[in-house]
């Protein structure tokens, strides 16, 4: 097979072995159909073939969600979970946070878990050990009541919770010796109303209390240094936190100037003003469904990526780092956040931006994006969830090649073009 771009042998795989051009663009082939135009890639190629009348019946619903295999470059039909050419899986599920992502990635983009080495065998062993220890202890201390309202489970530094054994118990007390809790430990425990955490606890991981829909009270120890953005996802009744780190009427947690968490059911309206004691924003505002405007004080010197994801009504940022009429946050040339509700069908990246780190995840209406020459780096997942995006406009062919490689697999699903 000869590459149409460099004129040499294409080789196996998704890219030309000589010029690194995408398989579809280089060979003009999409799942067996001949494509004459070299500027059309992915879904657009299929559309063009059927428009030319090849005699093949076009079923839009059948083809609209086709994907490109990350391993061999062939087409995976919308109805298939596996590539029909190489047999590789379309997506994999993270064994830790249970979210789906490309099978090509070694690490989960949501929680960082290494999917190749992850194993919960050690956790299962600890559960069995804990059951044996519990049974032995109960036999030795038969005089103690089994109906204790506030029960401790067992004294392991690495805490494991047996959901079935303690189903229905509303108040949970974790032993003071515990320093670590696993991901999803209490996920789905909708009968729990109060949890007492140990003073030595250092972090609260992903999905730890996810969908504890009746959880109303939790006091966060001052030793906690990190709280994952999905730790309290789905806690519909948790309006405020308790403890020394609680601030702003308990709606947020602040430690040493770092905004660690926002209560999922906190009464945050259309405008939220970040407290002026905050120097770093690490907390996710994903559950703030009414939030439209965020005001950032001058005290803030750092903002984590993705903290304003799933804020579907967010229209504007005010204060420090605000740019492009408030639709973006730009820090030292890096685009770190987007007000998704303020982005229309066409959007132009500000020419002060040199690096795009923000995800345009909630920009459902975004169809065309213009990238200025000032941009020299784009994170791979920047546009991966933009379901309507079909065109990226840049200045020259050289810019097309540069950005095309940075966006990797996603760039195969959109049309790159030069400015007119």
Which residues neighbour 309 within 8 Å (Cβ) at sequence distance 6 or greater? 284, 286, 359, 361, 362
The helix/strand/coil state of 45 is helix
Mean pLDDT, residues 77-91 taken together: 68
From residue 210, alpha-carbon distances to 25, 26, 36, 377 in Å are 44, 46, 50, 35
**Domains of the chain, CATH where assigned:** 1-89 (no CATH), 91-115+123-132+147-245 (3.80.10.10)
pLDDT tens, 140-189? Answer: 555 444 433 333 333 334 567 778 888 888 998 888 888 888 888 899 99
Distance CA 33, CA 22 (A): 16
- The predicted pLDDT at position 163 comes to 81
- The string of pLDDT tens digits covering residues 224-272 is 998 988 899 889 899 889 999 999 989 999 999 999 999 988 888 899 9
pTM over 0.85: no
- pLDDT digit string (tens) for 319-339? 999 999 999 999 999 999 999
Rounded to an integer, what distance in angstroms lies between the CA atom of residue 280 and that of residue 300? Answer: 6
Half-sphere exposure of 260 (CA within 13 A, CB side): 26
Sequence-distant (6+) residues with CB within 8 A of 271 are 292, 293, 295
**Lowest model confidence (mean pLDDT) among 129-138, 306-315, 388-397:** 129-138
């Amino acid at each position: 097979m000869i590459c149409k771009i460099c004129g040499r042998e294409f080789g196996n795989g998704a890219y030309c072995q000589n010029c690194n051009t995408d398989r579809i663009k280089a060979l003009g082939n999409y799942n067996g159909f001949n494509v004459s135009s070299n500027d059309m890639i992915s879904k657009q190629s299929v559309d063009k073939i059927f428009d030319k009348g090849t005699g093949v019946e076009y079923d839009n619903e059948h083809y609209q969600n086709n994907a490109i295999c990350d391993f061999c470059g062939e087409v995976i039909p919308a109805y298939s979970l596996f590539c029909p050419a190489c047999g590789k899986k379309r997506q994999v599920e993270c064994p830790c946070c249970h979210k789906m992502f490309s099978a090509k990635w070694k690490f989960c983009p949501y929680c960082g878990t290494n999917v190749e080495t992850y194993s919960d065998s050690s956790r299962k062993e600890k559960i069995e050990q804990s059951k044996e220890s519990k049974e032995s202890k109960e036999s030795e201390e038969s005089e103690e009541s089994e109906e204790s309202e506030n029960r401790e489970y067992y004294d392991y530094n690495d805490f494991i919770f047996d959901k079935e054994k303690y189903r229905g118990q509303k108040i949970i007390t974790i032993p003071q010796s515990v320093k670590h809790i696993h991901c999803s430990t209490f996920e789905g425990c909708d009968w729990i109303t109060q949890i007492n955490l140990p003073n030595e606890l250092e972090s609260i991981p992903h999905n730890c209390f996810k969908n504890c829909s009746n959880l109303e009270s939790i006091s966060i120890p001052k030793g906690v240094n990190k709280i994952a953005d999905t730790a309290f996802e789905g806690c519909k009744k948790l309006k405020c936190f308790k403890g020394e780190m609680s601030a702003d009427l308990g709606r947020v947690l602040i430690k040493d100037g770092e905004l660690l968490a926002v209560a999922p059911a906190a009464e945050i309206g259309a405008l939220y003003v970040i407290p002026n004691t905050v120097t770093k924003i690490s907390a996710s505002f994903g559950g703030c469904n009414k939030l439209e405007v965020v005001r950032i004080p001058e005290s803030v010197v750092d903002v984590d990526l993705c903290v304003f994801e799933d804020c579907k009504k967010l229209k504007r940022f005010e204060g420090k780092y605000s740019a492009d009429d408030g639709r973006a946050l730009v820090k030292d040339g890096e685009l770190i956040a987007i007000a998704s509700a303020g982005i229309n069908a066409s959007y132009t990246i500000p020419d002060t931006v040199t690096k795009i780190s923000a995800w345009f995840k909630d920009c459902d209406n975004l169809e065309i994006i213009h990238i200025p020459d000032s941009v020299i780096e784009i994170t791979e997942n920047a546009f991966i969830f933009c379901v309507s995006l079909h065109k990226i406009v840049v200045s020259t062919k050289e810019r097309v090649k540069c950005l095309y490689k940075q966006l990797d697999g996603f760039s195969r699903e959109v049309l790159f073009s030069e400015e007119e």
